[in-house]
Structure 1
């Protein structure tokens, strides 16, 4: 599973979603086209970011099935443990998780 770290997103949810789509979406889709499962990591954010993060993750998973796509927010050991779990969980895709 390819881990893609998306860092330094704006605090404003609309600006963060726009920056993600403008700068990260094509890179992530390229990885998926190369037949790699992807775990996207993002910094922790408040509840206002959940909806766009859920939508982009589910949309990518549907578009690129059977490739797996998940997004995990957080840092440190909890983030690493969640990514390790997802790598060994072949049925889990399209999920946005917070650590």
Structure 2
């Protein structure tokens, strides 16, 4: 599973969603188009970011099925544990997870 680390998103949700789509959508879709499953990691953010992140995960999964793609926010051991779990969970795709920090 290819891991793509998204960083540098602004704290304002609309601006963060715009920057995500502008700068990160192409590399994610390129990896999916090459037949790779993708795990997108993001910095933790407050609840106001959940809707755009959930929507991005779901739309990418639908568009690129049967490839798997999930978004995970967080850092440290919790993020790594979630990534390890998802790499071994072939039925999980199109989800947004918040790893405990």
TM range (shorter): over 0.9
Gaps of 5+ in 2: none
Look up the match of 1:61.
Answer: 61
Look up the match of 2:23.
Answer: 23
C-alpha RMSD of matched pairs (Å): 0.3
- Taking the aligned partners of 1:66 and 1:15, their CA distance within structure 2 comes to 30
**How far 1:8 moved relative to its partner?**
1.1
Look up the match of 1:95.
Answer: 95
Alignment of 1:15-54 (within 5 A): 15-54=15-54
Aligned residue pairs total 99
Superposition TM-score, scaled by structure 1 size: 0.99
Superposition TM-score, scaled by structure 2 size: 0.97
**How far 1:81 moved relative to its partner?**
0.4
> CA deviation digits over 1:10-31, x for unaligned, max 9?
0000000000000000110000
Q: Where do 4+ consecutive residues of structure 1 move more than 3 Å?
A: none
